[in-house]
Structure 1
Amino acid sequence: MPAAHPTGRGVAAAITAIDAATDEALLRAGVERARAAIADELRSHTPAAALAAAWSEVLRHAVVAGVRLCGPADWTWFVSGSVARGEAAPGSDVETMVVLGDAVGDGEKVALLGRAAGVHALLERCGVPGDANGVLASRPRFCRRAASWTDGIQRWSAHPREDRGVVMTGLLADSAGVPDPSARRPADLLRAGVVAAAERNYPVRQAMLQDATAVRASVPSRLRVFARTADAVDVKLAVMDPVVKIARWAAVSAHSDALSTPTRLDHAVAAHVLGADDASSLRDCFDWLLRWRWRRRAQRFLAGDRVDDLVSLSDMAPHDRATLRSVAREVTGIGRTLDYLASTSTYR
């Protein structure tokens, strides 16, 4: 009997079809059925949080099916990012990692890297894109024996400035095993390891906070738009990522292995890592951003077109533009406060 889903029966039926797929054509049909079910949910005005959770589950089950169709092996697949957190937006790609058995030899590992590439090629053909930034199980960095992952977690936590340690820690903190009944390792294996290592290593918590509050993009003010006639902004990079990263840092600092951004904020308040007002503001910002991204990206996604988060402010409805600027100010202000408190060692 299929598990209950936060949306209607259409999504549940599509996931059942994906789970039952015995070849590429059936997997592709299952994913298309899920896309159609999501379209129905959109027309029914299903809340964005439920849509995100449902689409994330579709993508996780699609990964399981892709791995199954490529044959068994001593490996366990994990996803990361928004798909693992249950916060996928229309057109979200899938970040994957693999834990191999320690008995897997070097030659077998090379062969498994090739098979992992085959899994992603299959998923691409079925409408499930792999991560554009290269977080893929087909790359040696993300396909390791269990002992190598354990050693890496310790090294990245102790020396987060080396070997992209803070990035790897963030990816693993967001990781979750795919819903595969034949999985040989716990779904929280990597995430739990990171949370435990971060508890022992202040440098990685400090680096995660600095990464969360670093300004990589911003929402142009009205003055900047008038002065420079430049009003384009990547909303994910400028606003959504900082909220997600602050919540991730706060949860890890609270020794919580929670995945979803709202739950992470709740746990951070309970552990007195974040103030209740700041957490409430971040939650409101996250909720609005999730709704806005689903509304903006849905039409192109359902048509099979490429979607992104680059938007021209002049093309936005006035109320959305005003809200986006308000969200950006709120997130930036909280980030600056946290950065200052970190410099005073408040969070040590």
Structure 2
Amino acid sequence: MNGPPDQLTVAHRRDAARTPASRTVADLLRTEPVTGRADMTVREAATLMTERDQDYVVIPLPDHGLGLLTDADIRARVVAAGRGLDTPVGDIVDGPAFVVDSRTSAIDALTELVDRDLTVIPVRDSDGRVLGVVGASDFVADPAGSSMPLREQISRSQTVEELQGHARRIPQLVADLVRRDRPAHEVTQVASLIVDAVVLRGLRLVVDSRPDVDPAAYTWLSLGSNARREPVLSSDVDSAVVFDDSLETAELDAYRAAFAELDDLLRGAGLTVDTNGAVASKPLFSRTRTQWQTAARAWIDAPLENRGMIFTSLILDGRPLFGSRRESPVRTPGVEMIGALRADPRTMRLLLDESLSTKARLRSMRDVLTRRPGAFDVKANALTPLINIARWVALSVESTEVNTRARLQAASGSALLTDDDATTLTEVFDVLQRVRLRYQVAQFDRGETPTDVLEMGRLSPLDRSLVAQAVREIAGVQRRMAGMSHYQVN
């Protein structure tokens, strides 16, 4: 190991340099697309699939969208439904299908495939031409797809003990991706997909199997870093639940007891669950839809009371994981809040002040800049201010994005965030996450508990310089936003 004895370093895999830093779905395509017609019969489509040795047919639609017919569709919508094989494909296919641009990153496409529970995704070029489709097997050779076998094992776990055993391999997976020198946002997206799988399987095993629980009566929301697809080894699993209004108060207590059992399962899986924080087993974070709506209105009307600002920020970061994730996102509390928040300039101003109140603390770096050893909380003093900025600017342009990088992109060029500042903050975010991940993987390798508090003397001189520069950049954007804010909020 290079460097001083106490310096934390991560050994890179020898094959890391052989894999491009960023791959697109175009790089994963292996065959020409199988294309049919809406007026062809299901029998003809099935024959075409067999001839091409594929399990799908892409169907161009009149509105320039694409339909998609798969083997699974034929089994579910034709055979099981008692329809004949001479049924026109147009009567079977729902459209339009979800499509990605050929320039989409492999990890973003994989995330969409998993989130939407799709078999394949059609890929189009910038001219709208269908280049092919990608499915789960196409990601296996890609570093981003290295998580797929573990995710599959987690999803198929039959017992709590089996699930926990698979889940305890998450740190090794994260460490391997870091050693492969994968981009930080790719590492955290992969980690979030695995955490999602653990939570979903845990819900099936210990919650939905209970006779007093109806899986259709609640929606599970991921909160915090995992909702933003930015978890690291030190991250908590935060959550909230939206109950159907038909449930009685006594029934809600039974659900919360089941969610507490899930908390225990997750702890046994090596994940961190803060029972004093944002978890669905607590009444503050498990409410009926009407209760959430009432609470949201109260936070908007009186944001300084009852921790309204904190709750608003948490819910705005919520991502549906189970339940309404297949329904319109308008039904989730976070999205419902956005319009109401935007309509109240006073509340928007308070949210902006709250976002800018957590300063990127350059002065706390004094020991680093003078080359004296010191400790720096990278989450509290750098990442949280940046994440707050991204949340606010996304809200200001009415974006429903949750991911920090996506929020910055959505607001780039707006009145409060110039293109240059958006680019700078994205680069800074990537740098801080990369340093944070490498530090935590090095701690994990040494048997230490991964932490967000960086002992600066254990970083390389380059990383110390990068962290110091990142804090200065965030602080600079905060000052510019504070000066420009009156143009956006009045």
Q: TM-score scaled by structure 1?
A: 0.90
Following superposition, the deviation at residue 243 of structure 1 comes to: 0.7
1:38 aligns with 2:174: yes
Following superposition, the deviation at residue 192 of structure 1 comes to: 1.0
1:174 aligns with 2:317: yes
Identity %: 27
1:114 aligns with 2:257: yes
Task: Compare the two structures and name the one with the higher helix fraction.
Answer: 1
Query: What is aligned with 1:138?
Result: 281
Cα distance in 2 between the residues matched to 1:311 and 1:37: 22
Check the 8 A contact 1:76/1:184 in 2, yes or no.
no
Query: What is aligned with 1:296?
Result: 439
Query: What is aligned with 2:421?
Result: 278
Q: 1:346 to 1:185 in 2, by over 3 A?
A: closer
Check the 8 A contact 2:243/2:288 in 1, yes or no.
yes
Higher Cα Rg: structure 1 or 2? 2
1:15 aligns with 2:154: no
Cα distance in 2 between the residues matched to 1:65 and 1:201: 40
Query: What is aligned with 2:232?
Result: 89
Following superposition, the deviation at residue 276 of structure 1 comes to: 1.1
More displaced stretch, 63-72 vs 246-255: 63-72
Following superposition, the deviation at residue 114 of structure 1 comes to: 1.3
Helix, strand or coil for the counterpart of 1:233? strand
Q: 1:183 to 1:267 in 2, by over 3 A?
A: closer
Q: After superposition, what is the alpha-carbon deviation per residue over 1:57-115, rounded to whole angstroms, capped at 9, x for unaligned?
A: 11111111111112323221111111111111123111100111111111111121111
Query: What is aligned with 1:325?
Result: 468
Cα distance in 1 between the residues matched to 2:257 and 2:335: 28
Check the 8 A contact 2:241/2:285 in 1, yes or no.
yes
Cα distance in 1 between the residues matched to 2:251 and 2:326: 18
More displaced stretch, 315-324 vs 48-57: 315-324
Q: 1:307 to 1:204 in 2, by over 3 A?
A: farther
Q: TM-score scaled by structure 2?
A: 0.65
Helix, strand or coil for the counterpart of 2:451? coil
Q: After superposition, what is the alpha-carbon deviation per residue over 1:150-195, rounded to whole angstroms, capped at 9, x for unaligned?
A: 11122212321122111111111110011x4786865661221121
Cα distance in 1 between the residues matched to 2:369 and 2:323: 57
Cα distance in 2 between the residues matched to 1:24 and 1:257: 35
1:239 aligns with 2:375: no
Helix, strand or coil for the counterpart of 1:92? coil
Check the 8 A contact 1:7/1:54 in 2, yes or no.
no
Q: 1:273 to 1:243 in 2, by over 3 A?
A: same
Check the 8 A contact 1:7/1:51 in 2, yes or no.
no
Greater RCO, CA 8 A, separation 6+: 1
Q: 1:307 to 1:35 in 2, by over 3 A?
A: closer
Letter aligned with residue 153 of structure 2: A
Letter aligned with residue 281 of structure 2: S
Following superposition, the deviation at residue 230 of structure 1 comes to: 7.5
Q: 1:42 to 1:113 in 2, by over 3 A?
A: same
Check the 8 A contact 1:10/1:34 in 2, yes or no.
no
1:347 aligns with 2:479: no
1:263 aligns with 2:406: yes
1:148 aligns with 2:148: no
Cα distance in 2 between the residues matched to 1:251 and 1:183: 21
Cα distance in 2 between the residues matched to 1:304 and 1:126: 17
Question: How many pairs align?
Answer: 345
Helix, strand or coil for the counterpart of 1:70? helix
Query: What is aligned with 1:337?
Result: 480
1:51 corresponds, among 164, 187, 192, to: 187
Q: After superposition, what is the alpha-carbon deviation per residue over 1:283-307, rounded to whole angstroms, capped at 9, x for unaligned?
A: 1111101111111111334676421
Helix, strand or coil for the counterpart of 2:168? helix
Query: What is aligned with 2:50?
Result: none
1:101 corresponds, among 232, 244, 254, to: 244
Q: After superposition, what is the alpha-carbon deviation per residue over 1:268-319, rounded to whole angstroms, capped at 9, x for unaligned?
A: 1254431112111111111101111111111334676421111232332222
Helix, strand or coil for the counterpart of 2:293? helix
Cα distance in 1 between the residues matched to 2:473 and 2:192: 28
Check the 8 A contact 2:167/2:270 in 1, yes or no.
yes
Cα distance in 1 between the residues matched to 2:154 and 2:329: 20
